[in-house]
Structures are given as structure tokens and as C-alpha cells.
Structure 1
Amino acid sequence: MPETAHALLADGTTVRIRPGGPADHDAVLRLYEGMSPEHLRLRFFVASHRSAEQAAARVSGRAVPGSSRSVRPGGAGYRALLAEHGGHLVGIAEYETANPDSPDTGTVTAEISLAVNDHWHHRGVGTLLLEHLVSAARAAGVTAFTADALAENHEVLKVFADLGLSTARRFDGAVVQCVVQLAPSDSYLASVELRGRTADVASLRPLLRPESVVVIGAGRKPGSVGRAVLRNLCTGSFTGRLFAVNPNAAAVLGVHAHPDLTSLPQVPELAVLAVPAAQVPVVAEECGKLGVAALLTVSAGLDAAQARALLDTCRTHGMRLVGPNCLGLANTEPDVRLDATFAAAHPAPGTAGVAVQSGGVGIALLSGLARLGVGVSSFVSLGDKYDVSGNDLLQWWECDGRTDLALLHLESFGNPRAFARTARRVTRRMPILTVDAGRTEAGRAAAASHTSAAATATMTRQALFRQAGITATRSAGELLEAAALLHSQPLPAGTRVAVVTNAGGAGVLTADACAEAGLSLPPLGTDLIDEVLAVLPQGATATNPVDATAAVSEEQLRACVRLLAASSRVDAVLVALVPTAVAAATGDALVRSLTRPHPRPRSSGGTPLPDRHRGRPVAAVLLDQDLPVRLLPAEEGTVPAYADPQAAARALAHAAARARWLAQPTGTVPDLDGVDPARAHAAVEAYLDRHPEGGWLGPRECAELLDAYGIRQLPWAWAETEDDAVLAAERLKGPDGLVVLKAHWPGLLHKSQEHALHLDLRGDAQVRAAYRDFEVRFGHLMTGVVVQPLAPRGVELFAGVVQDEIFGPLVLFGHGGTATEVLADHAARLAPLTDHDVHALITSPRCAPLLFGSGGGGGGGPVDLEGIEQLLLRLSQLASDLPQLAEADLNPVLARPERITALDVRVRILPRRAQDPYLRQLRRLRGRP
């Protein structure tokens, strides 16, 4: 864990977690001396001042009173973590191992103790400290905590029991001995996430449901940002108390103005900062000292020092922060009516939650939602996103009781792994839509390996969206198109679409758009065709698209759509309409056929059809409408209408993808046998001891890592002389007597490009000639050669990992060989992979049919699919266990029916530290001093 972190308590209060040290003696002593005799007795089993002195001495490393023993803070086997608020110590947690110097037996236990200020009980201080202590202990190799507590100390026993870790109790008279296993688990992660969500939502209340707001920098001059925010608060009928700070005005927009913060009649919960950048840190500090709970900073142009000062102030005083450089925020709840934005119009109330980084995109989305009639529950312009992020807003919408649709525009991710976990949970309750911004980035310039060349920022981001179930669109317009359908219609069960039109050309355009979007137009079947033709004018055709002809009436079109929507042969219906001069009904009448109740149609035998159409979406394509998309009011709900068939097809494809994701089980990360993380860690640490800056591993070191995770390689031998190469070739040659020689030197990556590879070598003479060729060309570089038998024929695949510093490890899979980058046939998922992620990886590349026996496969049948699954799962765990693994490149991987074998392996190691996914802490500024 980092040396210092800020995190949220259960009630949303921010505390600072840091290690204890020599300077903390007096503060720790004051903590214990301020405790009641009863709490002292529960902590030490006796109410003794001496016990408090001993505890303070232990934290500070001083000699324990009455003893010559002292403990070095942070030394071997001991750690103390302190929780502070406003510079005051509110809690302490410690552990000390009983045998820090004993040989590693695989089990290391540590005794823990916990104390919380009497006035801070029931706010989650102890639980938060224990979570951070667990993280620190795991990093130090501790596997279990032990603690003794009085049986009557129900509160501390409940803290242990509710952690989410496996806890055992043993009663010994009046004392309970607890043993807490520190092994990570899904239940612990779920418990941490639940506590984090509770704390996060509580901390956002002063931002989104404040009872009082002050605008600092509300000027008298029209056009100023502060004045615009104040105007929207006034005209939006904010239900709480509203204040303004302006030393040069008595009133602004009818709101009494105060010369400074200290002149306010009460401490406001939310302060809006609309002052020049240079004043922001000073004003923020004044707000913090006054007791303001949250800041909305619309000011822009802060430099690095000002940014750091702003965030440090917010952390010190426990204020949540939106911005800076943002449009503002709004909450349309009737009992709040908060519009603290400088947008030109108030957001319409509704059920869509919106969070954006770009103010311009925010205005566009608000305008689009208003045109659709959807409206927003809450809107937050995140701006430079120093603190509050999209992850925070997802958790708010999950709990606010109003939001049923989440719209995001995020240009960066502070903690993608936490975002992904939250999104996976939230998107099962409501659709989450985002704009995939920045798709045209060049990716990794001068990429060293095939893996890093393939792993662009776009691929990484899209992997996050796919695995989290997020609907990713390419523009704000496409996002609104998808939102219109997801808001108004049920999800389709599949991708089969029936197209109905009153003009053949419009039907063709719509059919093409469906095919391009990945949808299908299935044949309708003889019975359904007969029923459809029976309700349409003479001359109609029903081969899908259904051409109802220009003579179709409102009633006929309604009956046709009803029949198709009730059929099990299709999953959705798209109705493409154009105005014609010969229509039996006006254009408006045809549109009404989609928005008015449909009389229940009868089968050809006269039996009423079951009312099943409600489970299938219906959408319209109105080629003459001006707006790209609108929602047509219907008797029950609304029907989306699109001006462009491609927009309608895209929206349906997004809905089908969401339905497919929801239908999948959650997925689990399988347990693997034959995995030895300790061996892998030892190999990596040994390499970094020799190469502190990191680098590319040699063949032996690569083999050591792969062996530790049970990843099969083609047999090989290392040779540093010509004679060694000949002996190795004789030993390794296969039934055909052929071998391969590969030159090696540190940093060599692409052997084919360097012509550092000789294939099809038979006999001593050819092996010697190949070795001498390498010596002539690479003698000044070469450290040796790798000798392998010539591999049999099979499907050449590519598997690799890139460790992204923000997103974590990304596993890639696809077509391999020398042309892997040219073909660019790769799929990617973020680790750790679940069983469903692995299935998606294997089936997504274009080469997937080869693996199932189509068009070859090194034996004519399917390759060893279970072997591919194991390879990818083991790569995933290798990368998850080793943050130092910067990239791994297995290319080619030979896939045959009997086994999967890596033929060539490259691994790069960097000196990196692991990030604990279980640790609750507020985000830090990246790239700031």
C-alpha cells in the first residue's frame, strides 16, 4: 500500500491513513488517555495508564516503560497504521509477527490490535484501518491475523466477523481467540465493494443533495460564469438556502451578497468556485477551514502546483470535489431542483444519469435528451476530474432510486479496474452507454513486440467496455440513438429482424443497414407469409423485407406489424416509411399504426394470436423526418423513430449486444493446478537484482516463468558453441531428423526480420554451417543459440500480455506467425480472465474457424481447444500475479489436435509494484508533482 492514502468512512467522512512513527508517541498516548475506562478495559483487558504508555511506546519505537525492549517502527514484523481527521488521531491498527526471522514455512501469522477514539465509533474507522492493515500484511507475506478479545467486546468481534475474510473463533473462558485468514477471496472483495459503495454515496450527498449552496465569484457583469451559475440556481428553483460571495456588490441577481465566507449566516454544504485559477487554492482552503462539505470548481486554467494545492486542501478537510474546468452539476429531484451549471437551459427532469468530462459534449447530450423527452435524474460535468469520477456517479445512480439509464463520456480512467467492477454490477440493473472517445490514437509508437504493437489504447478501452457490459458508441449522436431505443423498448432476444416498408427502395436500404450492423433478416416461413399477405393490400410481398406497397392503410400496417412482432421467427421489427402521393393513408396515419394499440390479430384459422409482441422491440425509420431520432408518444410508452436506417440498425445491434451480455452468467476465474507463483516471483526478483532497470529475459528465464505456470514449450536446448549446437541437435531432432537454430542476444525480438533463424536443418554439417553463419553475421552480439526440433504442421496462433499501468494486464489472442501484425487478427480481454472471457477470446478472431476444424488445423480436425483455454488462463494468472511482467509475447503458438505448444517466447520485466484491488482509497492526481 502507499505510505499515505485518503479514504472514506461509512458516513462519507474523509480520513487520512498513514504509517505510525517516532513523532506519533504523544498523539497515540492522547488517543488512549481520551478513552473511557470501559473502552480501555476492553482494549487492554485492564483500565491501566501503563498499558496506554506501552502502546504509545510501541508505535513510536521508544523503550517500553519498565522494560529495555523497544520496537523499530516499520521494522521487521511490525506495522502500525493511523487514521487522522483534521490533524487529529481517531484510530490505530497494529500488527506484529511472532516469528519474523523464522524460515518461510508458507504460513506467517501476526497478532493485531485495534483502537478507535470514543467519539468516532460506528463510523467504520476500525474496519477501514483493518482493510489497509490487511493490504500491508499481505505485501509483507503475512497469511493470517490473530487477535484476543474479551467475549463481551461485541463491537470488535463484529468488526472481525464482517470483514469478509474467513474468521475462526475459539472461546477460552472470558477471552475469544480469533484467527483471520488473509487469503483474497470474492467474498472479501464483495464486502469491500459494498462498504466502499455505502461510503461513496454518503460522501456525494453534499454535492448532489445539498441543503445550502454558496456561489463564490458571482459577478454583476453579464456573461460571467459565476453569475450564470447563480442565475440557474435561482431560476431553477433550488429548494435549499442560496448564498453569494462578492466583496464588491450588495446583491447579485436578487441574492444578498456577502463580502467573504466568514460573513455567511451559516456554513454552506456546497461551495461553487468561479474565481480566477490563482485564487482557487486560497478560496478552497477558506472553505475547508469553515467546514464546507463539498466543492464544485468551474474555474479553469490551474497549473500543476495549483492543482496539487486544491486536491490536498480537499483531502485535508474532507471535501469531495467536482472539477475543476467543468460545466457544473445538476439534480432534478423535485425536493432538490439543483442546477449549478452555466448551461443555457435547465436540464429536463427524467431518469437518465449523465456524467461527462467535456462540457460541450454535456450540453449536446442534455439538449438531445430534452428533444427525446427522456430528461435527466442528475448531471455532472467532471471536467479535469481531480476527485469525483464516473465510478462515483455509477454508484450514486445505482442507489438514488430514480436513474434507469446511465450515459457517460469519459476521456480518461483513474482506476479502470474499480470502474469495471462497478460497471459490471450496475449494468445488470440499467444500461450504461458511453462514447468511445479517442479511437484514432496511434497507440504504442515504436512498439517493441507483437503484443505491444497489437495492444493499442483503443483495444484496451474496448476490452474494458465489453467485459463490463457497457454499450460503447462512436459518437454522441449514436449514443442518443441507442439511448432512445434502450429507454423505450424491451431488449431483443437475438439479432433476427423483420423489416416492413411501404416503399421497396426504403426496405432495401434498411435491410443493408441491418446486415452491416451484424443483424440478420431471416425468412419468415410459409405460414407467417400467408398470414401477413392476408392483411396487406394486393401486390404486397412478404419475403423480408415485407413490402406493404404504397397502398397500405393504417389498419393494414398495424395488423402486419402486430403479426410480425408476435412471431417467434423474429426478435425485432423495423418499419421503414416514406410519404407517397398514392398512399391509402397519410404519413401521419401510418406512423399512428405504430403508436396506437394494435387489435389482437387472428391466425389463418381465426384463433386470436397470443399477446407476445410486448417482449419484442419495434422501431421506425421515417426517411422524411428532420431530427436524427425522436420518440413518438404511444398509448403505452414511446416508439423510437430514426431518420436514417443505419442509425436504427445500430441502435438495435447495441440492444441485442446488451441482451446477449445480460444472458451470460457472471463468469468465474477458474482455479488452476500446477501453478507456482512463489517460484515465478523468485525468478523475477533474481532477474531484477541483476538488472534493476528491467529488460528482456533470456531463454532460460522465460522457460522458468512458463514452467512455473504450466505453460508448455517446444523442447529446446541452449548452445554457446558449434559443438554444443551439434550435440543438442542430435538429441532433439524429431522423426524427420530436422532441427531449427535461433540466434539470441539481449534485446533481439523479431528473429525473422533479423534473419536470425535457420529452419529445416538436417545432419551435423548443416547445423555447423548455420551456427557459423550466425557467428559471422552476429558474432559481436550473439550470446548463444536456441536449438529446437522442427515443429510439425498446425495452426499458428499468437498469445500475449501487456501490462498497462492504468488498466492492468491485457491478454491478447489471435492469428500468429510472421504476419501477425499485418493481419491484425487479434482479440483482447483484461485480466484476470473468467471462463466466459476465455471463450470470447477464442471465438472472436477471424481465424477462429480454423480452430474448430474448418480449413485445416494441423490434422484436419479441431485443435486442442481446452489446451488453448488453459494457455490463456495461465497467461492471465501469470500477468495478474506479476505486476513486473511488462509484456509477454508467445508467437507462434502451435495448435494441433493433441496439444498446444509455444514455439517462441519473449518476456519483458520492469520494476513495478502491485496494485491492491481490495484497497479502498481516494484517487490521486496522476502526473502531478
Structure 2
Amino acid sequence: MTGTKEAPVHALLGDGTTVRIRQAGSADREEMLRLYQEMSPENLRLRFFSTNPASAGKAADRVAAGERPGYRALAAEYAGHLVGLAEYEVLPPGSTAEISVAVADGWHRRGVATLLLEHLADAARTAGVTAFSADALAENHDVLKVFHDLGLRVTSHFDGPEVHCTVELTEDNTYLNAVEIRGRVADVVSLQPLLRPRAVVVIGAGRKPGSVGRAILRNIRTSSYTGLVYAVHPEAAAVAGVHAYSSVADLPQVPDLAVIAIPAAYVDGVAEECGKAGVRALLVVSAGLNTQQAAGLMGSCRRHGMRLVGPNCLGLANTEDRVRLDATFAARHPGPGTAGVAVQSGGVGIALLDGLARLGIGASSFVSLGDKYDVSGNDMLQWWESDGHTDLALLHLESFGNPRAFSRTARRVARAMPILTVDAGRSEAGRRAAASHTAAAATPTMTRQALFTQAGITATRTIGELLDTAALLHAQPLAAGTKVVVVSNAGGAGVLAADACTDAGLVVPALSADLVDELLGLLPDGATATNPVDVTAAVGEKQLQACVSLLARHGAVNAVLVALVPTAVAAATGEDLVRALTSAPEPLPRPVVAVLPAQAARVELLPAADESTVPAYSDAEDAARALAHTAARADWLSRLPSSVPDSPSVETGRARDLAAAYLDGNPKGGWLDPQATAALLACYGIPQIPWAWARDEDEAVDAAERLAGPDGRVVMKAYWPGLLHKSEQHALHLDLHNASQIRAAHRDLVTRFGDRMTGVVIQPLAERGTELFAGVVQDEVFGPLVVFGLGGTATELLADHAARLAPLTELDAHDLLTSPHCSPLLFGYAGRPAADLGALEQLLHRLSRMASDLPQLADVDLNPVLAGAHGITTLDARVRLVPRHAHDPYLRRLR
């Protein structure tokens, strides 16, 4: 059992230090001896159970023997020196491995051993190891704590002065939560020098006005930054009133953050200079780095443990009172506030900052991620979660480095604060691959929307819509449902507002007779209260306030939308109808939004007497969409987080063997034949209609006699490698009754397809039922995606599909069943019998499990899946495998 040699990676320790994790081998003997020789006698005794110097030599020799079956050693490096080692050796019969771990003196309690064991466990799982065993002295509390704090199941057996520990390597939710907590702590600590620096240096601030570096330096100075600021210039004594030094090495103290705004050709060299000086974070606004320059920049950051924002970005800002840093070249300082903003586009960033400032929401921190070499949206979510100043997260991400890790973080953070994003790139043409219905259905837009939906992220279509929704989320309670009452002083405006609500997916219900009577008792003669509520142009301020207050407190209402147009009546009487919405003495329990067509701004927050604000929109459609987003968030929050259920009777080992055997014979991958497809689906208990393989006409007749149902009818399907859409190529015959029809059908297929056809599949004619489609596609970036929807020959034409990222939780599977437009057919639409929903959910979970178990699974296409009251069955299935290694998206590592 030999593990594959993995490329070195960098990861963060608990104190934010960056170390390099790599495979140890023959070249490490001297470094291993040095590590042991520098240990105290007490630590040597705890490591080797004795102080015999020969033990260190034997341990170094074991590592120096290099890679071999059943052995793996991983080293942690800092500044070119080993600071830790973890190794395992497989014990017979091969499912358990004995481990040992050593950490250099001076590096204890910083997370070195834990990080190494996480990576060692990942390598062991890939090699088929299911448990670690380790012996330690009972007094070695540190190493025993490391084992028990991993988040894995540990059993301990005491034998005199020693303890024998067994660590099971099952990667369940408890373990992932433990890894997540460790990663979050390390990440936030590593971002402190970037977002709360005590000193900043700007490199590239020119003497002439107009340079980017000079603009950043000016913004830092005029933002009342609380730390020290320096400039580096090779010739000038001062830049923009800041004393300048010729190099970073000449600075009177080492800054936490260096801002680099110089030509691309010099960036990597300056980054290395910063790293050697001890700078802990870089903000690179320079653009146009080529591959070599980019590699040099990242190499310096990783070698010296510097976090990096950029390159090719607008900058960053932190408005906290203790920081007040504006290291951007934006024209205006960000307004202080409570919204965290992270964008890849500088232009989008400026638009969001300006919009938040105008609304009075402001920003807690802002990061322009640019080309996103290092710091990402995932990092910023974790920062906002813990900074104590942010209650609203706004993202504009054009790409995802690790979508599954991002999704897991976002699910957690979205429970504490709303996360809003602009769903950029929707116009990109979907992958209309002819390879399978699954690949055709799984467009990039669908994939992103699956991520956003599962993670509880509010995805808007435009920046304006994002700000509309942010204003409502900031100002009002959530709409705990979709029932909206429209109130208007002009009938036409009320009708348009009701239409806008319906278009946004909201409901404008008729009001109960009691509520109608109560409303009419408050309103002037001529008013109607059927919803929309027409209060008429004669309504007074106090009447309108009483009407809105009654509705916002009524249990049958989730939100109130008030559309007001200026009238001569109100002007003549001096009534201020807008004030009726802002003068309530205490907060209302349900959201109230105003639509003011005469308002110049798209959205404003109107100050209210209760110290809250009321969002006012110039267009009812904007207000309705914002309400729909808040209702969707309330619905997501109302659901308790669900888990990924176990799939009983799954043969994962056999499935992996089948996949490996196929790829051994087909190194480039391909579509499985019917026999291999059926065998793989059987490993996961996916129900299939009985079938038989026939190579010629006589075998087809014999198969039909065995498989024909009570009515004697069968189906014949041609097969050859590469045939995917049988209906389109007329490669099947339905409703065959007898031997003569079967022979005629077989001759027809042979005549038309000739030697291409390697055989036929015979199946009994299926009973009636709802034809559905289910499948899996492996996205190169997002991982496996489970797709479900209407099946049959029109599946791509109607495009009635939903998708979720695997692994599916119980809620994910339920959402997949209810999201497509065809879902009423499953619940007994128009008198039809309801489908077996439990069987459908099991099918989706089993597909999800298959996709999670087999990274080689590129496509699964089950179409149609016949669903009826008494179960489901797959009538046609295709599976494609490609060579691909498992990749743990949750393993702690930097880009």
C-alpha cells in the first residue's frame, strides 16, 4: 500500500504562522537529527520512552529510508527548517497504521502536531487506512490532548505507564467541525496584520500627483489612520508629506502591512525584500503580472508567511475606530458602518461603497480581492464573523477557489448575518454538452445558484438589487412569509404594486371579512380593503398610520408595501403621508416598505421616530424583489440545519474496485457498457428495471421470453460504445409483442447501424408513471452536482431541472424534489397517484453518496426514472468515468 507523492502545500498554524507541509524522505536525515538533538532531555524521553541518543538516529534513519509500501512521513517546515514530523506505518492486515509525531522545542502548543496529523490522516484514508494506533507515556499530556482534540473518535487503553490510543479516521461532521474551528481561528489571526495593522508602508508612491501609490498614501493620511505610516522611494526624502526611506530594510520599524503600487516587473523582488524584513501582509494593487512574476510573488508570501490581497485590486479599508485605515485609491473614503464588503471588481466595489454610504449603512471593512492569489471571500466571511463590527456581508465574486469550503463557511456565517452577492456571469452560455442530459442541464449558472441556495446566500441579479435588499435587511425585520398587503392612495399604483409582488413570487391574499371591516372603520369613505387596500386620495396622515399599524401587527400579514403618489388633496390639507410611515412611536413587528414614484433615488432609508429607518423605493418592482429576498432568508433560517444521512447497504469498496478496474483498461476514461453500469448502480442500491444483454437475434428472442411481463411486451435498445441518446438516433423499438416482432426489430437495427452495434438490451415494457430525470455531473471547480427534474425525451427542451452540490443533506434532497416546476406531479396532481417520495429521496441520497465516494465519476445520467405510487425504477442509465484522484476540500491549506 503506497501513497501517491503529493506536492507540498502551505497551511496556517493556530497562531497564524505559515508552515510548509511536504513529504519527508532521504534528504531529511540531517534535519531530523538536528530536530532531535535540539530537544530537551525531557521531550526526548517523552518521544522515545528513554533518553538513549541512539533512538534519535534510528528514527532519522527510518525517515531517510524514503517512500515505501505502507509508510508515509510528512514534515512541517518553517524558513527551510523542520519544525515537526508525523509518520505512519501500516500494520497487518493493512487497515490500521501505527503513527508517531515529533515537534521541535519552541514550537509546542502552536498546532504543528494537529496540522500534520490532519494531513497524515488524509493521506492514510486515500491509501485505504481506516485507523491510527499510537503508544504514549501516560504523563505525555500534550500528545494525548492532540489525539483527543482532533475531532476523530479515540479509544484509549492504559497499560502501566503507557497508553495505547486508537484513532478512527472516519471523516464525519464532528471532525469537519473541529477542523473548521481550527482553520477559522488560524485564518482570523493571520488577517490581523492585514486589516488591523499597527504600521503601514506604501511602496510606489510617486512624487507627481496622479500615481496610484500616491493616491493610496494620501487616503491613508486623510482617513485618520491610528497607526504609523511610512513611504519607500529610492530618491525622494518625502512623499505627500510622509518621510520616505530608500528601502524597506531602512525603515525605523517593521510594518505589519506593505502596500505595493509599482510596475509588475518589480513586484516579486520587492515582495521578497518585504518578507526578509519581517513584513506580515501585502496589499498589491499592481496589475499585469506574468506567470513568472506571479509565481515569484506567491513564493515570497509563502516562504515568509505573508498574507496577500491582490494583485490588480483597488485596495482595502477598515473603518473601525481603533484602525480607521483607507488604503484604497477610491475618490472618497468609505463611510463607517456595519457592512463587510469584498469584491473582485474595483468598479463594483466603488459602487457598493458609495451606495452604502448614501444609505447610511456604511462599511465595517472593505477588501478588493482583485486576482485573488491568496485572501478570498472565504477568508473575509470568517473575519466578519469574528470582528465584532459587521452585521451584513456583501460579496461580488467572479470565481471560486474552493467552493465546497466556501459553502460550508457561508452556511455557518449566514446563520449570524445576511450574506448578499451579485450572481455575476449569468449570460455565459451553459455547457450544452451532447455527452449527457446531466451535463447539458448543469450550467455554470445552475451550479452557482445551487451553492448560493444551500449556503443561505441571497443572490441578486444587479448591484442595484443588492443595495435594495441590503437596505431592507438593515432597516426592517424579516418577512416571515410571502403574504403581502399592498396599501395605496391611488388605485392604479396599488394594482401595479400588486403585480410587482406577484411577479417576485410573493402572494397578495384577500383579507378576511373581519380585517376588512376593521380597516374600513379607520379609513375615509370610498376606501376599499380587499388587497390592494385603496385608502383614496382623501386619506389623512393619522388614518394611514393607523391602517399600516393594524396591518403590520396582524397575524395574517407578513409584510406591508405602501405605494404613495403626491396628490393635490394632501398638499392642500398639509398632510404628510410619508411621515405616517415614519412616525410610529415604537417598532412594528413586520416589515413596512414604501414605494414613492416621485422619489429621485432608487432606494432611500427614511429616519423613523423609533430610531429605526423605513426603506423607500422609487419602483414597486425593486421593493417587491427586496421583500421576496428577505422572505427567502427567513424561510432558510427557519429550517434547522440538517445532516447527510447514511445510505444503508452501500458497497463503496466494490464500487471503487469497479471504477479502478475500468480505468486500468481505459486510462483516458469513457462510458461504461450496460453490464458495468448496472453493476456500479447496484453497489448503491439504485433500482433498475430487469434487463438482459443479447448479441444476436436468437439471444434477443430468448431474453424477451424470460423478461416479458404478463402482457408479453418488451423493449429493445441498440448499444455501441458512445451511443447516448437512443431516441434521437431511433436506436430503440418499443412495445414488441412476440418473437416475430423481436426478430424484425433486431434486423432493422442491424440494417441501420451495422457493425457499430455490439448488441442490444432487452427490457420488459414499463408500466405507466411519471418520467423523471436524475443524474450527477462532476464540476472541475465545484465538485459533484446532483441534478433532478422532468425526464423523458423532452428533458433538455423543457429544462425543468434543479441542482444541489453533493453531499446532499436531508433538506437538500427535499428541495430537489420540490424545486422543479413538475414537482406537483409527484404529489398527486389532478387526481394522479402520488409518487413514492421516500424512494425518490433515497435515490438522490444514493446518487450523492456515489458521487462523494468516487471522484472518477464524471457523469451519471438516469433518464427516465419511472416514479409511481409503489416505488421507482430506472429505465435507462449511463455512467462515465475519468481518471481523477480524491481531493479533500476541507483539508487545511492555503492556495
The TM-score, its normalising length taken from structure 2, stands at 0.98
Q: Which residue of 1 aligns with 2:659?
A: 684
Displacement after TM superposition at 1:907 (Å): 0.5
Please say if residues 742 and 757 of structure 1, whose CA atoms lie closer than 8 Å, have aligned partners that are also in contact.
yes
Q: Which residue of 1 aligns with 2:67?
A: 74
Displacement after TM superposition at 1:166 (Å): 0.4
Q: Given the alignment of the two structures, is residue 6 of structure 1 paired with residue 10 of structure 2, yes or no?
A: yes
Q: Which residue of 1 aligns with 2:418?
A: 431
Q: Which residue of 1 aligns with 2:547?
A: 560
Displacement after TM superposition at 1:777 (Å): 1.5
Please say if residues 541 and 575 of structure 2, whose CA atoms lie closer than 8 Å, have aligned partners that are also in contact.
no
Structure 2: distance between partners of 1:763 and 1:85: 76
Structure 2: distance between partners of 1:597 and 1:616: 13
Please tell me the residue identity of whatever aligns with 1:361. Answer: V
Structure 2: distance between partners of 1:597 and 1:440: 44
Give the root-mean-square deviation of aligned CA atoms: 1.2
Residue of structure 1 aligned with 2:855, choices 883, 886, 908? 883
Displacement after TM superposition at 1:446 (Å): 3.4
- 1:120-140 C-alpha deviation (Å, 9 max, x unpaired): 111101110010011011111
Structure 2: distance between partners of 1:336 and 1:899: 62
Structure 1: distance between partners of 2:304 and 2:752: 66
- 1:375-413 C-alpha deviation (Å, 9 max, x unpaired): 000000000001000000000000000100000000000
Q: Given the alignment of the two structures, is residue 89 of structure 1 paired with residue 58 of structure 2, yes or no?
A: no
Q: Which residue of 1 aligns with 2:337?
A: 350
Runs of 4+ in 1 over 2 A off after TM superposition: 584-588
Q: Which residue of 2 aligns with 1:409?
A: 396
Distance 1:153 1:588, change over 3 A: farther
Matches within 5 A, 1:276-675: 276-583=263-570, 589-598=576-585, 614-636=588-610, 637-675=612-650
Structure 1: distance between partners of 2:628 and 2:67: 56
Q: Which residue of 1 aligns with 2:884?
A: 912
Residue of structure 2 aligned with 1:29, choices 33, 43, 56? 33
Q: Which residue of 2 aligns with 1:893?
A: 865
Please tell me the residue identity of whatever aligns with 1:261. Answer: V
Distance 1:584 1:164, change over 3 A: same
Q: Which residue of 2 aligns with 1:191?
A: 178
Structure 2: distance between partners of 1:258 and 1:564: 66
Displacement after TM superposition at 1:674 (Å): 1.4
Q: What secondary structure does 1:484 align onto?
A: helix
Q: Which residue of 2 aligns with 1:213?
A: 200
Distance 1:413 1:447, change over 3 A: farther
Structure 2: distance between partners of 1:917 and 1:268: 34
Q: What secondary structure does 2:771 align onto?
A: strand
Displacement after TM superposition at 1:668 (Å): 1.4
Q: Which runs of 5+ in 1 are unaligned?
A: 62-72, 599-610, 924-929
Please say if residues 578 and 587 of structure 1, whose CA atoms lie closer than 8 Å, have aligned partners that are also in contact.
no
Please tell me the residue identity of whatever aligns with 2:860. Answer: A
Q: What secondary structure does 1:614 align onto?
A: coil
Displacement after TM superposition at 1:445 (Å): 4.2
Structure 2: distance between partners of 1:415 and 1:588: 56
Residue of structure 2 aligned with 1:873, choices 836, 839, 845? 845
Please say if residues 354 and 380 of structure 1, whose CA atoms lie closer than 8 Å, have aligned partners that are also in contact.
yes
Structure 1: distance between partners of 2:592 and 2:235: 59
Please say if residues 452 and 459 of structure 2, whose CA atoms lie closer than 8 Å, have aligned partners that are also in contact.
yes
Distance 1:136 1:587, change over 3 A: farther
Displacement after TM superposition at 1:615 (Å): 2.2
- 1:332-369 C-alpha deviation (Å, 9 max, x unpaired): 01010111000000001100000000000000000000
Structure 1: distance between partners of 2:209 and 2:232: 16
Q: Given the alignment of the two structures, is residue 736 of structure 1 paired with residue 740 of structure 2, yes or no?
A: no
Structure 2: distance between partners of 1:315 and 1:221: 34
Q: What secondary structure does 1:433 align onto?
A: strand
Q: What secondary structure does 1:271 align onto?
A: strand
Q: Which residue of 1 aligns with 2:124?
A: 137
Structure 1: distance between partners of 2:754 and 2:551: 74
Distance 1:337 1:544, change over 3 A: same
- 1:213-251 C-alpha deviation (Å, 9 max, x unpaired): 000000011111000100000000111110101112111
Please say if residues 579 and 587 of structure 1, whose CA atoms lie closer than 8 Å, have aligned partners that are also in contact.
no
Greater CA drift, 844-853 or 475-484: 844-853
Q: Which residue of 2 aligns with 1:710?
A: 685
Please tell me the residue identity of whatever aligns with 2:543. Answer: Q
Structure 1: distance between partners of 2:519 and 2:550: 7
Displacement after TM superposition at 1:861 (Å): 1.1
Q: What secondary structure does 2:287 align onto?
A: coil
In the alignment of these two chains, the number of paired residues is 890
Structure 2: distance between partners of 1:114 and 1:622: 68
Please say if residues 551 and 584 of structure 1, whose CA atoms lie closer than 8 Å, have aligned partners that are also in contact.
no
Structure 2: distance between partners of 1:680 and 1:735: 34
Displacement after TM superposition at 1:899 (Å): 1.4
- 1:543-571 C-alpha deviation (Å, 9 max, x unpaired): 11111111111111111111111111101
Q: Which residue of 1 aligns with 2:827?
A: 852
Please say if residues 491 and 615 of structure 1, whose CA atoms lie closer than 8 Å, have aligned partners that are also in contact.
no
Displacement after TM superposition at 1:633 (Å): 0.7
Please say if residues 484 and 557 of structure 2, whose CA atoms lie closer than 8 Å, have aligned partners that are also in contact.
yes
Q: Which residue of 2 aligns with 1:724?
A: 699
Structure 2: distance between partners of 1:681 and 1:831: 18
Q: Which residue of 2 aligns with 1:604?
A: none
- 1:489-529 C-alpha deviation (Å, 9 max, x unpaired): 00111111111111111111110000000111112212211
Displacement after TM superposition at 1:616 (Å): 0.5
Distance 1:866 1:245, change over 3 A: same
- 1:581-614 C-alpha deviation (Å, 9 max, x unpaired): 122677882111111125xxxxxxxxxxxx8x73
Displacement after TM superposition at 1:48 (Å): 2.2
Please say if residues 554 and 585 of structure 1, whose CA atoms lie closer than 8 Å, have aligned partners that are also in contact.
no
Q: Which residue of 2 aligns with 1:59?
A: 63
Residue of structure 2 aligned with 1:817, choices 782, 789, 792? 792
Greater CA drift, 536-545 or 236-245: 536-545
Q: What secondary structure does 1:285 align onto?
A: helix
Q: What secondary structure does 1:818 align onto?
A: coil
Q: Which residue of 1 aligns with 2:230?
A: 243
Displacement after TM superposition at 1:871 (Å): 0.8
Displacement after TM superposition at 1:309 (Å): 1.6
Structure 2: distance between partners of 1:591 and 1:542: 20
Q: What secondary structure does 1:492 align onto?
A: coil
Structure 2: distance between partners of 1:413 and 1:522: 41
Q: What secondary structure does 2:139 align onto?
A: coil
Greater CA drift, 647-656 or 755-764: 755-764
Please say if residues 395 and 422 of structure 1, whose CA atoms lie closer than 8 Å, have aligned partners that are also in contact.
yes
The TM-score, its normalising length taken from structure 1, stands at 0.95
Please tell me the residue identity of whatever aligns with 1:575. Answer: V
Please tell me the residue identity of whatever aligns with 1:878. Answer: M
Structure 1: distance between partners of 2:181 and 2:390: 19
Please say if residues 540 and 575 of structure 2, whose CA atoms lie closer than 8 Å, have aligned partners that are also in contact.
no
Please say if residues 553 and 584 of structure 1, whose CA atoms lie closer than 8 Å, have aligned partners that are also in contact.
no
Please say if residues 155 and 167 of structure 2, whose CA atoms lie closer than 8 Å, have aligned partners that are also in contact.
yes
Structure 2: distance between partners of 1:4 and 1:521: 58
Structure 1: distance between partners of 2:685 and 2:784: 19
Q: Percent identity?
A: 69
Please tell me the residue identity of whatever aligns with 2:258. Answer: A
Distance 1:779 1:527, change over 3 A: same
